[in-house]
Structure 1
Amino acid sequence: MAKSSADDEELRRACAAAIEDTKQEIIMSIRVAKSRGIWAKSGKLGRNHMAKPRVLAISTKAKGQRASVFLHVLKYSTADILEPAKLYKLKHLSKVEVVTNDPTGCTFMLGFDNLRSQSVAPPQWTMRNVDDRNRILLCILNICKDVLGRLPKVVGIDVVEMALWAKENTPAISKQPDILQDGPIVAAVVERDTKVTVERELVSQVEEEDMEALLGRYVLYLKLSILPSRLALISSNCYVMGIGEAEAFSERLKRELQALEAANVHSILENEPLINEVLQGLESANSCVEDMDEWLGIFNLKLRHMREDIESIETRNNKLEMQSVNNKSLIEELDKLLERLRIPSEYATCLTGGSFDEARMLQNIEACEWLANALRNLEGPHLDRTYANMRSVREKRAELDKLRNNFVKRASEFLRNYFTSLVDFMISDKSYFSQRGQLKRPDHADLRYKCRTYARLLQHLKTLDKNCLGPLRKAYCSSLNLLLRREAREFANELRASTKASRNPTVWLDGSTGSNQSASSADTSTVSEAYAKMLTIFIPLLVDESSFFAHFMCFEVPALVPPGGIVNGNKSVLTDDENDDDLGIMDIDDNDNEGKKSADLQALNESLHDLLDGIQEDFYAVVDWAYKIDPLRCISMHGTTERYISGQKADAAGFVRILLDDLENRISTQFSRFVDEACHQIERNERNVRQVGVLSYIPSCSACFASSIVFATLATRMEQYIQGQSRDLVDRAYTKFVTVMFVTLDKIAQSDPKYADILLLENYAAFQNSLYDLANVVPTLAKFYHQASEAYEQACTRFINTIILYQFERLFQFSRRIEDLMYTITPEEIPFQLGLSKMDLRKVVKSSLSGVDKSIGAMYKRLQKNLTSEELLPSLWDKCKKEFLDKYDSFAQLVVKIYPTESIPPVPEMRDLLASM
């Protein structure tokens, strides 16, 4: 058999080292396996019920006249070193149960009555063999009986069996009573050289011998009592075995049984005095046992009361010790709290009545920082919620709130007056503004320098009371708005006064005006340059003012223009010594919020509207002034405005974008007004013709022809003024101009249908000739050029057909009748139709083609008479000859097909005749 771990001295020393700080002595140590429900009904191991190696150690510790016994559960660390895992007091042991599901009988459970959760099954301890189980359980039971004076409830094992095992496995019993000072004898269980040591015997040696004799007689009686049954069994066995004369054998056994019973009765009667003596001894022993039980009950009651008193004393001592520790911690916490609640005198003086001069700003900033930290420290999570409802904390918070409100009120009033005084000083000094003969660029460097002194103060005011910034922002916007509007008004007035430009005539596309007047082009470039200068000076200024205001007034939005940035190719106002414009604004708490907050952005745009509202009127005045001098300069001003709009991308410059959008809309409106007036002048051609009553084509043609020339001049100038993205504006004007011109031309042509085609072709030709060069580079004009070309070709075709039919109407009507009949009848049947006979053909040819040269000459004279433009005559005459030759060729082919026996002048002869004309 393997050596038990209970005899392992190394294990005992390891356990002693693990609990050496407890001053306890190891009595026994043994290795076990810990599990929970390992022997289930299914007989399978669960994942959460795997056995874990543990060591059970029993130790004692002397406390005065009594001893405490402990059960230690030790586990192995990662370094295979024993360390405490659980600790139980054996005085709370209430139950020892051997698990019946374990067929080996090596698993048991220990139940304690002081466990917090009784619903959780206690751990199961599994030993290597039954001997180890009996050794640990016997040791525990002996200690409970000797030291605690009671035995726990034992389930699943027979105590007598345990006693017999102990007797068989105990070679020597050594009593080692320890006599304590002024106390009872306490038996100690020591397992060193013996396997099991019985601590204290329950009966004396003499009593044990008497009990063994009595048990021997009892066993004899039991043997006699079961003899008949055994005889019957023997009888049956004999029968089975085939023994003969079973009845005779049974009779003999019965006789022997009777003899034995008689001898037994006789023996009992002979031993009656001995039995009486045993009974008297049992009665005396029972009396002693009852007395002893009564005394033990009395002692047990006293010990229980003593134990309860000791536990009560220990509890009070523990509470006193805990109270002492808590009082010490409480004093420390109260000292820290009092330190939080203390207001330094220098900060109190600064917050209640200090000055806001520039020299005192550092002290004011430090006071603000202390006040903000003090308020923050009195709020969660910086302050424990248990302190929040303390009276002193509530009073101190109220005092700090009153101090904050007083300081915020004083600082806000000072800053409002300060902003007003700064602006009033600048407005009263005329040297800050443009004067007669001198344009002055606005310079706010000194103003911003003075404002930046109080930038960090504003940041702390926002931390203390964010609602106080609203009135301050309004006061700043109201004051600075006066300054900006005054600067813009003075600058715009002087800009217009110093700009020299002659006015251009505003009558365009009027057919009654001469081409010299319409084509006049005085130099008005200074007008658009003045407008560009206004934008160059003030747009960066307004953007910088918006950026400075957003940072200065603590709006959490991205920066608009970086220090020293470039705006539309122009140096930002934040240059040179203004590169440190923010001076650390937004970095006070080291919390740079890069995200956009919609609420803050909306509030910023509203404030920027208050800051810059009204300044747009001076920009509008410059636009209106430039329009009166030269309406076409709206094109260049529109391009300049679009470039500035494309450069404004920051969300916080919302008002500047709105201003530029309004300027763009105003310029577009003014230019549209010019376009409408020009279109009105075009439409007056039609009204003039009707009012005067002139129906001849020459005046109308001349008027429209002149309008085409003037439009070409206008388009040329418009192309010269296009800058940037103004292409759409000009293309829309082109579309409107040409549409009105074409519609008006059609209306004039409809007023006299006889000469409509002549009017159309001459005007469309003039339109193409005047816009040929521009149409090659301007897609919009190229579209209208092709449209005019198509209309010209259609008018030419109609006019030429009219000229040809005027001279050769009978000939080509005869041809048209033949073509119409060919769709319904065969060519052979056509000569037999009414009016289409060969005789009719000869009459038509004779009347139309006799003297054809004179007819063609008349056709040329008629064409020359109707045209007023000599340049169009050659091309129209060529078209006319070609069209006539095509019609005659078709006629000749029909004659050959329908009238093959008839002869007409051949086509080559007619071609030569036309070529000679």
Structure 2
Amino acid sequence: MAGAADGGLVAAVEALFAASESSVVTAVRLAKSAPASAWNLSVRRNRVTSKPRVLAVTAKRSPATQRFKVNLHVIKQSNAGLQVSKTYKLKHLVKIEALPGDAAALSFFLRFDNAKPGIPVPQWTARTPDDRNLLVVTLLRLCRENGLKLPVVVGLDVVEMALWAQAHAAPLPAGAPELGPPMVAGVGVAVGGGAEGGAAALVGVGPAEALVSAEEEAGMAALLGSYTLGIGQAEAFSERLRRELAALEAANVHAILESEPLVDAVLAALDEAAGRADDMDETLAVFNTKLRHMREDIEAIELRNNRLEQQAENNGALLAELAALLARLRVPPEFSSLLLGGPFEEPCMAQNMEAARWLTQARAALEPPALPAQYAGMQAVREKRAELERLRSTWVRRATDFLRTYLAAIADPLLANRAAFSQRGALKRPDHSELRYRCRAYAPLLQHLKELDPACLPPLRQAYCHSLNSLLRREARAFAEELRASSKLVRTTNSWLENLAGAANGTGGPALSPAGEAYTTMLRTFVPLIVDESNFFAGFMCFDVEAPSRTRSDSLNIDLSDDETDAPAAPDGKTVVVARGVAEQAALAAGQGALVAGLSEDFVGLVDWACRLDAVQAITLDGITEAWLASHGTADHGSPAIAQLLADCADRIRASWAKFIEEVTHQIERYDKGLKQAGVLPYIPRFALLAGRMEQLVQGGARDAVDGAYERLVGTMFAVLHRIAAADPKHAPILLLENYAAFQNSTFDLANSVPALAVFYQQASDAYEQACADYVHAAIAYQFGKLFQFGERIKALDVRPEEVPFSPGFSKADLRKLLKSTLAGVEKQLGGMYKRMAKHLTADDLLPSLWDKAKEEFLAQYEDLEALLAQCYPSEQLSPSSPEMRELFRTV
């Protein structure tokens, strides 16, 4: 049926509200747009952007009142389907207003009494009059049925909507009871039901009850009663009403034409009112112009007042800033007089420090960032900066001159006090506490000088180093002289071959001689003192130093004794400062070098004295010096000056040791006794004594020096031994085996613990075996040479064994003759060979082993000869046989 609700749309909306208790009454497709302004309606109508929406009316029965709660829902289409965007309650609907100027009356407004002020009311546009009529008739019917206030309808033809409602009323089924006014097709809804509602009730919306009030309905009934209408004559009745309406309008126009004088009077009054309105407009324009000028004048006055207020604030801030700047520029007269001519004596140092502190702060206050950049170019600032610079230069020059004189003579009181130095019987560590007290009094002055002019420090450092160096050299010289005088010394002879036996008999650890103890006492007294003075110099002379590190002096494995001296023991650790930056490091190294300049003469002199008294003691001195150098002479734990001092001592010790080894080598090379008088050469056992003493004294880095000495001495000894042996080849084997045996016996224990000596021990062992073999071969050849030479001659023949007896000189008769001459009285010959070997050897302990070697060698050759003769001369027997010969050796 035309105009009925879209069945598919209603089904979709019912599916949307299926989860709720509300029932869908109707649903209409509309277009929503922003409302057009009354002033530019024709312009904005063309620019309205419409959005498709669905207006759905739902009803829900109230359990308390059994009435329906009706809501109007605005539904929009989204990706997920239909979605409710806004809901209005029907009880708040107060007005339904058609859009003015819309001839078809398809656009209208729904106004609610609870709408927020200022929010525009949306404009709804129906697609067809049927959709519009369906929605409006349904809303009016529901308001009436539920006792709600009927909304005002403006701009819509009520008669037309009533006729439409009658035309679209749903017919009842045949035989059904009359339930009320005719229903509009598609508007009826089944409401209630379920456990609460009982049977469904059918609500119909009729045109008579939906469009007019009770009074209007009574009037309409009276009007209809004056006419007799049949079924289907509604159009004729409507046409008659239109004719009557036209007649009424014509009558109204006639009445208006009859009232022309009144109209003329009204028009005259309107003309007069228009003239007065024009006059008022002109007057208002004049007043507007004057008011505009007044506003401009007021704005100008306010602008000038604001500028004056800003200027006043700026002037106040400027005065405050100038007052602060003047406070910075002011020079207190007491500071000015003190900086220009005040004394620098110790009682006045507090005032001088305060003045210097003020000068430093005043100069910093006139430099960025303390002083804003815009003030830097002011003449007053430039003049005050020049004045402060003059005060700075004058004060720095005066303070530098005073300190140069003061530091140059700071050590004079200690130099003049002879009791401060080590004297006979009173060996003590120098005490510089008074000197440091005098320095600390002027340390703040040096700090301020560094801040004001760092270039003035090098002359002061030089003066201090020169004065302290004189004191250190004087103290070192006195300390070294007292060490020499207080040491109980026994001078060794010039020959290294003497005075070693007693020293080598000890079994303990390294033992320092008095000279060595004097040297170590010098080191443990003055090296820490120099480190302390270097650190104090770095702090006192304002070097930029890093945080101090710790050295480990206790890592020096030195057995130091204080029995004869009151010098302090080596400290557990020394604080050594390191300067930051290359320039600071160079300056600090130069200053420390000036502090210890010339001190190496006293240390080196003590080294020479100790090495002259006991040259072997240089090994211990070298180890001690290396340990101190590792602890205080590295880049991380010391200064280059201390490293150079210890390096000079180490170089002199090594030079003395090298000289000693050179002298020993020269004495070995000059040994020129004859071979027959030689026996075991004297430098062989004495070398063992020297090596034992060296191993007792060696420690630390001296290991390389000792190993080098072993190589030099042993190589020279073996070379001289072979040179003597080469002079007499006949007796050379016995000389070599006796000396190599003596070397092995004397160095056996040392070779087990000293790798360098183990190499020479193995070399001597190999040479001993070779010498024994040569000697045994010579001894056997002396007694039985012809016998064994016969066997060698047989082996040299290029014939078969059975042909040997037929060779010239190898007949059986020749063999019998040879055996008779060589083996006759073999027991006596063996005894003679043993006695001959005992006569040659000077060491009886070598004879048993040598005789065993000779026996084994002889028996081996004898067995080979016996086997050879058995092959070549089967009928001849060697007598005595090999077993018999072995038994004969046992009887010797």
Match of 2:855 among 878, 881, 897: 881
Residue of structure 1 equivalent to 2:865: 891
Deviation of residue 196 (structure 1)? 11
Confirm whether residue 783 of structure 1 aligns to residue 729 of structure 2: no
Q: Secondary structure at the match of 2:494?
A: coil
Give 1:382-397 correspondences, 5 Å limit: 382-397=370-385
Residue of structure 1 equivalent to 2:670: 684
Q: How many residues align?
A: 637
Deviation of residue 725 (structure 1)? 5.3
Confirm whether residue 603 of structure 1 aligns to residue 587 of structure 2: yes
Confirm whether residue 640 of structure 1 aligns to residue 640 of structure 2: no
Deviation of residue 796 (structure 1)? 0.7
Inter-partner Cα distance in structure 2 for 1:651 and 1:626: 28
Aligned partner letter, 1:530: A
Inter-partner Cα distance in structure 1 for 2:460 and 2:383: 30
Deviation of residue 782 (structure 1)? 3.6
Aligned partner letter, 2:847: L
Moved more, 662-671 or 417-426: 417-426
On the 8 A contact 2:407/2:460 being kept in 1, the answer is no
Distance 1:291 1:529, change over 3 A: same
Deviation of residue 498 (structure 1)? 3.6
Residue of structure 2 equivalent to 1:554: 542
Distance 1:626 1:559, change over 3 A: farther
Residue of structure 2 equivalent to 1:427: 415
Deviation of residue 365 (structure 1)? 1.8
Q: Structure 1 stretches of 5 or more lacking a match?
A: 1-95, 106-127, 130-159, 162-166, 172-191, 198-286, 510-515, 576-580, 587-592
On the 8 A contact 2:492/2:499 being kept in 1, the answer is no
Moved more, 444-453 or 731-740: 731-740
Once the two structures are superposed, what CA deviation does each residue of 1:539-558 show, in whole Å capped at 9, x if it has no partner?
22212111211111122325
On the 8 A contact 2:411/2:467 being kept in 1, the answer is yes
Inter-partner Cα distance in structure 2 for 1:424 and 1:608: 20
Aligned sequence identity (%)? 46
Match of 2:743 among 767, 776, 788: 767
Once the two structures are superposed, what CA deviation does each residue of 1:164-212 show, in whole Å capped at 9, x if it has no partner?
xxx99999xxxxxxxxxxxxxxxxxxxx999799xxxxxxxxxxxxxxx
Residue of structure 2 equivalent to 1:843: 814
Inter-partner Cα distance in structure 2 for 1:437 and 1:893: 87
Once the two structures are superposed, what CA deviation does each residue of 1:429-482 show, in whole Å capped at 9, x if it has no partner?
322223455445322111111111111221222122222211111110011111
Inter-partner Cα distance in structure 2 for 1:547 and 1:894: 90
Once the two structures are superposed, what CA deviation does each residue of 1:840-864 show, in whole Å capped at 9, x if it has no partner?
5773575155324454345435434
Distance 1:456 1:561, change over 3 A: farther
Inter-partner Cα distance in structure 1 for 2:723 and 2:859: 33
Q: Secondary structure at the match of 2:759?
A: helix
On the 8 A contact 1:757/1:799 being kept in 2, the answer is yes
Deviation of residue 785 (structure 1)? 2.4
On the 8 A contact 1:439/1:495 being kept in 2, the answer is yes
Q: Secondary structure at the match of 2:371?
A: coil
Residue of structure 2 equivalent to 1:910: 885
Match of 1:624 among 605, 608, 615: 608
Residue of structure 1 equivalent to 2:158: none
Q: Secondary structure at the match of 2:389?
A: helix
Inter-partner Cα distance in structure 1 for 2:593 and 2:526: 16
Q: Structure 2 stretches of 5 or more lacking a match?
A: 1-42, 53-84, 87-100, 103-107, 121-274, 505-510, 569-573
Match of 2:685 among 696, 700, 709: 709
Aligned partner letter, 2:669: E
Distance 1:892 1:299, change over 3 A: farther
Confirm whether residue 366 of structure 1 aligns to residue 341 of structure 2: no
Once the two structures are superposed, what CA deviation does each residue of 1:482-509 show, in whole Å capped at 9, x if it has no partner?
1111121222223323434232112124
Distance 1:339 1:759, change over 3 A: same
Q: Secondary structure at the match of 1:754?
A: coil
Distance 1:884 1:355, change over 3 A: same
Deviation of residue 323 (structure 1)? 2.4
Distance 1:850 1:333, change over 3 A: same
Aligned partner letter, 1:539: V
TM-score, normalized by length of structure 2?
0.61
Residue of structure 2 equivalent to 1:39: none
Aligned partner letter, 2:757: L
Moved more, 357-366 or 542-551: 357-366
Residue of structure 1 equivalent to 2:4: none
Aligned partner letter, 1:555: F
Residue of structure 1 equivalent to 2:726: 750
Residue of structure 1 equivalent to 2:653: 667
Distance 1:864 1:651, change over 3 A: closer
Residue of structure 2 equivalent to 1:59: none
Aligned partner letter, 1:629: L
Inter-partner Cα distance in structure 2 for 1:594 and 1:754: 71
Confirm whether residue 797 of structure 1 aligns to residue 773 of structure 2: yes
Once the two structures are superposed, what CA deviation does each residue of 1:42-97 show, in whole Å capped at 9, x if it has no partner?
xxxxxxxxxxxxxxxxxxxxxxxxxxxxxxxxxxxxxxxxxxxxxxxxxxxxxx99
Once the two structures are superposed, what CA deviation does each residue of 1:795-846 show, in whole Å capped at 9, x if it has no partner?
111221222234434544454566678xxx9xx9444479879955773575
Residue of structure 2 equivalent to 1:740: 716
Residue of structure 1 equivalent to 2:335: 347
Distance 1:744 1:841, change over 3 A: farther
Aligned partner letter, 2:769: E
Distance 1:868 1:351, change over 3 A: same
On the 8 A contact 2:500/2:693 being kept in 1, the answer is no
Inter-partner Cα distance in structure 2 for 1:574 and 1:349: 50
Distance 1:858 1:328, change over 3 A: same
Match of 1:478 among 466, 469, 489: 466
Aligned partner letter, 1:614: G
Aligned partner letter, 2:784: F
Distance 1:388 1:819, change over 3 A: farther
Distance 1:368 1:894, change over 3 A: farther
Confirm whether residue 698 of structure 1 aligns to residue 686 of structure 2: no
On the 8 A contact 1:544/1:561 being kept in 2, the answer is no
Inter-partner Cα distance in structure 2 for 1:443 and 1:680: 48
On the 8 A contact 1:810/1:844 being kept in 2, the answer is no
Residue of structure 1 equivalent to 2:401: 413
Inter-partner Cα distance in structure 2 for 1:619 and 1:100: 111
Inter-partner Cα distance in structure 2 for 1:99 and 1:622: 119
Inter-partner Cα distance in structure 1 for 2:756 and 2:776: 30
Deviation of residue 790 (structure 1)? 1.8
On the 8 A contact 1:605/1:654 being kept in 2, the answer is yes
Deviation of residue 306 (structure 1)? 7.0
Give 1:269-280 correspondences, 5 Å limit: none
TM-score, normalized by length of structure 1?
0.60
Aligned partner letter, 2:596: L
Distance 1:313 1:99, change over 3 A: farther
Inter-partner Cα distance in structure 2 for 1:429 and 1:102: 114
On the 8 A contact 1:502/1:524 being kept in 2, the answer is no
Aligned partner letter, 2:712: K
